Amino acid sequence: MADVSLHAVRKSYGKTEVIHGVDIDIADGEMIVIVGPSGCGKSTLLRMVAGLESITAGKISIGNRVVNDLEPRERDIAMVFQNYALYPHMSVRQNLAYGLKIAKMDKAEIDRRVDKAATLLQIGEYLNRKPRQLSGGQRQRVAMGRAIVREPSVFLFDEPLSNLDAKLRVQMRMEIKALQRELGVTALYVTHDQVEAMTMADRMIVMNAGIAEQIGAPLEVYNNPQTKFVGGFIGSPPMNFLPKAAQNGPASATEIGVRPEHLRFCAPGTGLFDGTLKFQEALGAEMLLHLQDTTGRTIIMRVETREAPELGTETVGVTADPADIVFFDANGKRA
Amino acid sequence: MHLDNTMSQRVTFNNKFLPYLLLAPQMLVTLVFFFWPAYQAARSSLYLPDPFGLSEQYVGLENFTFLLEDAYYRASFITTAVFSALVAAISMGAALWLAIMADRIIKGSGIYRTLLIWPYAVAPAIAGVLWLFMFNPSIGVAPYYLKALGYNWNHVLNPGEAMGLVVAASAWKQVSYNFLFFLAGLQAIPKSVIEAAAIDGAGFWRRFWTIVFPLLSPTTFFLLVVNVVYAFFETFGVIHTITAGGPQQATTILVYKVFADGFVGQDLGSSAAQSVILLFVVGILTIVQFRFIERKVHY
């Protein structure tokens, strides 16, 4: 168990810089989720912490020890890969014991740890099977087990749930979170799924094009996005963006952002937006209304299904509480 | 023609003759170039023709009994075993080593690979002649430098050196082929598995022996079968040009003896009998490989 800190971490491939300086101090036992669209550098950042990619500039330390020049095995970490990376020719038991055997741990201790992890993850009955005889969810558990038995200071997860079906994914993300809490191990978790990030993170790093756009607790990031990108990426459906009306907000602001659930109806011409209904998506408890104005701009409004109005082709006005509106400048930063 | 989707994804042809028609060219080639010669060899092994091939006499299994009592023929078995084992081991070992290195380098890997594949394009006889000139006791480059080191090279007289030379030339030619397969095999191993092992604490060689080599075993097994067959049959050109089976039959492997006894010695009956024996030996070897070594292969 250890603190992890990244200081001005950069990565270049030749002349192309892909990570432009990331700083974060991670407290012992904290779960940090790195989230961003594909190609944003989130996996590269994780692999740099793991020691699978070199660090071009900056400093990474684990437990107050700078690990920049240490081999992966010297960093006291364990990693769960997207494709699980189980050793296909070994049984589940051998997979779990592999790292411990290399560490020259005595046999009784290896068995104790493997059995403990197997019980914890409910894979005890598969210990003698080969990975190919397991389902995706079971393989995922074995990959987790392989990380747990080593009792590392830091867990690294590289999109561990993206190969599972939707239902299993929801179940596993809670299990991983519970397990991480129980073991109290610092964890870095990479995902492209913002729901996963929101539900699992103590704090999240929202990355875009090699830059950490915002670091903060999930609700803090959701309610108070520091950039237009964060507002658009976190939340489903995303934040709505509209040109700023002349009368309100800071002078530097050019655009406003407002969450779909903060919109409400008003008389046409008096609100932020006038439009007509194009589609509606009934999700069950709530409903998404897609409204389009005469210029073709669309905004999405989230309303409770019971309170959803019957809309025809009439023009409706939409507004929001000023406290729920955020302002962005021409560079997409908060104004 | 319709697609039968209920049980399996097999395409069923309603035309009864089309499948046979499509198979016919391949069957014809196999019949003319494999079954007919094989039948001829089997038949000839039971006859004793005169040196001019004008008449022949049925002798039953006498060609075989004569061969099995022949000390030279039995020696040829040992020679073949030693030769094949050395060729397979050296060419596969060298190829695996080169493939591991080629898999690791990033810059210039294309050039490196191309250069390593070239020897495969050299015909066996040409390869033999190349090695023959390099190691010619009177004018070769290698013996000249070996002499400077105090070693007197003469594979024309020394059976051990002759064997060493044909093994080296034969193995060298096969390295490219093995290299290609090993490299493809290495690249088919998921990178994340290697990375997981690195995080688990395994160093390069430990990863190699516990992860890479076992996962490479289907390739290794395939190459073992191919290399043994290669050493048995396709090294004829190399041996013929470098040593012609000598000195004192030290490099006369079974397939070379088939040629030497049949076409040089004009003993066609014995030559045919040897072909039949060779066919059985390779068949048995392949069965043994599949039954006993394949069990250790992880697919």
Residue B10 has pLDDT above 70, yes or no: no
Burial group, residue B152, by CB count within 10 angstroms (0-12, 13-18, 19+): exposed
Report the DSSP beta bridge partners of residue B49.
Answer: B56
A86 close to B (CB below 8 A): yes
Q: What is the pLDDT of residue A247?
A: 59
pLDDT at B1 over 60: no
The set of residues, in sequence order, having a beta carbon less than 8 Å from that of B26 and lying 6+ positions away, is none
| CB distance B277 to B285 below 8 Å | no
Q: Where do the DSSP E strands lie in B56-152?
A: 56-58
Is the CB of residue A217 less than 8 Å from the CB of residue A202? yes
- The CA distance from A44 to A158, in Å, is 10
Q: Is A101 on the interface with B (CB under 8 A)?
A: no
Chain B hits for A87, CB-CB cut-off 8 Å, are 193, 196-197, 211
Over residues A64-112, the pLDDT tens digits come to 889 999 888 888 899 999 999 999 999 999 999 999 999 888 999 999 9
Given a cut of 70, is residue A292 above it in pLDDT? yes
Residue B54 DSSP class: S
Query: What mean pLDDT comes out for the span A249-272?
Result: 87
The pLDDT value given to residue B5: 45
Asked if residue A172 lies in contact with residue A140, where contact means CB atoms within 8 angstroms, the answer is yes
Contact B141, B130 (CB under 8 A): no
Closest CA to A232 of A214, A210, A253: A214
Higher pLDDT, B242 or A30: A30
3-state helix, strand, coil in chain A (%, to 5): 30, 30, 35
How high does pLDDT run on average in chain A? 89
**Sheet containing A16-26: order of strands:** A16-26, A4-13, A57-62, A65-66
Q: Does A14 touch chain B (CB under 8 A)?
A: no
Q: Which of residues 289-308 of A touch B (CB under 8 A)?
A: none
What is the model's pLDDT at position B298? Answer: 66
Task: Report the percent of chain A where pLDDT is more than 70.
Answer: 99
Whether B298 sits inside 8 A of A89 (CB atoms) is yes
The predicted model gives B125-149 an average pLDDT of 86
Write the single-letter amino acid at A302. Answer: R
Q: Do residues B247 and A123 lie in contact, with contact meaning Cβ atoms separated by under 8 Å?
A: no
pLDDT surpasses 50 at B129: yes
pLDDT in tens, A231-243: 999 988 899 998 8
Under a CB-based contact definition with an 8 Å cutoff, are residues B219 and B228 in contact? no
pLDDT at position A34 over 50: yes
Q: What pLDDT, in 10s, does the model give residues B73-121?
A: 888 889 999 999 999 999 999 999 999 888 887 677 788 888 888 888 8
Where residue A252 falls among pLDDT bands split at 50, 70, 90? confident
Among the residue ranges A316-330, B1-15, B149-163, B227-241, the one predicted with the least confidence is B1-15
State which H helix or E strand residue A189 sits in: strand A186-191
Q: Does A81 touch chain B (CB under 8 A)?
A: yes
How large is the ipTM? Answer: 0.83
DSSP per residue, A38-82: TTSSHHHHHHHHHTSS--SEEEEEETTEE-TTS-GGGS-EEEE-T
Of A335 and A300, more confident: A300
Q: How far is A131 from B190, CA to CA, in rounded Å?
A: 14
Contact criterion met (CB < 8 Å) for B199 and A87 = no
Cα(B112)–Cα(B188) distance, integer angstroms = 19
- Residue range B223-243: mean pLDDT, rounded: 88
Give chain B positions within 8 Å (CB) of A85: 190, 192-193, 195-196
Q: Is A181 on the interface with B (CB under 8 A)?
A: no
Bridge pairing between strands A186-191 and A31-35: parallel
- Residues β-bridged to residue A266: A317
Interface touch B200/A88, C-beta < 8 Å: no
Chain B: closest CA distance from residue A92 (Å):
14
Residues 6+ apart with CB under 8 A from A60: A4, A5, A6, A7, A9, A48, A49, A66, A67, A68
User: How far is residue A255's CA from residue A329's CA, in Å, rounded to a whole number?
Assistant: 6
Of residues A142, A226, A235, the one with CA closest to residue A197: A235
Taking alpha carbons only, the member of B127, B138, B149, B226 closest to residue B182 is: B226
What sign has the CA pseudo-torsion A162, A167, A168, A169? positive
Percent share of chain B, pLDDT over 90: 22
**Lookup result for tokens 């030339």:** B169
Q: Does A91 reach chain B within 8 Å, measured CB to CB?
A: no
Q: How close, in Å, is residue A107 to chain B by CA atoms?
A: 17
- Rounded to the nearest angstrom, the minimum Cα separation between A134 and chain B is 16
* A102 Cα to chain B: minimum distance (Å): 6
B47 pLDDT higher than 90: no
- The pair of structure tokens assigned to A53 is 């990619």
Structure tokens, B155: 């594979």
- A102 touching B (Cβ < 8 Å): yes
Q: Which domains does chain B have, with CATH numbers?
A: 65-296 (1.10.3720.10)
- Angle formed by the axes of helices B109-117 and B159-188, nearest 10°: 140
Q: How confident is the model at residue A295 (pLDDT cuts 50, 70, 90)?
A: confident
A244 DSSP assignment: P
Q: What is the mean pLDDT of chain B?
A: 85
Return the pLDDT at A228. 92
Residues of A in contact with B198 (CB under 8 A): 52, 71-73
pLDDT of residue A200: 92
User: How high is the pLDDT of residue A1?
Assistant: 61
Distance CA B293, CA B299 (A): 13
Q: Is A21 left (phi over 0), alpha (psi -120 to 50) or beta?
A: left
A302 strand-pairing partners: A288
Q: Do the beta carbons of residue A68 and residue A55 sit within 8 Å?
A: yes
Res B4 pLDDT > 60: no
B295 touches chain A (CB under 8 A): no
Helix (H) or strand (E) holding B270: helix B268-288
**CA of A278: how far to CAs of A243, A259, A287, in Å?**
21, 19, 13
Which carries the bigger pLDDT value, residue A115 or residue A269? A115
End-to-end Cα, chain B, rounded Å:
35
Q: How confident is the model at residue B13 (pLDDT cuts 50, 70, 90)?
A: low
Q: Identify from B191, B199, B212 which residue to disrupt to test chain A contact, counting A C-beta atoms within 10 A and taking the largest count.
A: B199
What CA–CA distance (Å, rounded) separates A293 from A286?
23
Cβ <8 Å between A81 and B298: no
Chain B CB contacts of A73 below 8 Å: 198-203
Contact A116, A183 (CB under 8 A): no
**Which residues on B lie below 8 Å from A86 (Cβ)?**
193, 196
pLDDT of residue B267: 80
pLDDT at A207 over 70: yes
What pairs with residue A205 in β-bridges? A34, A215
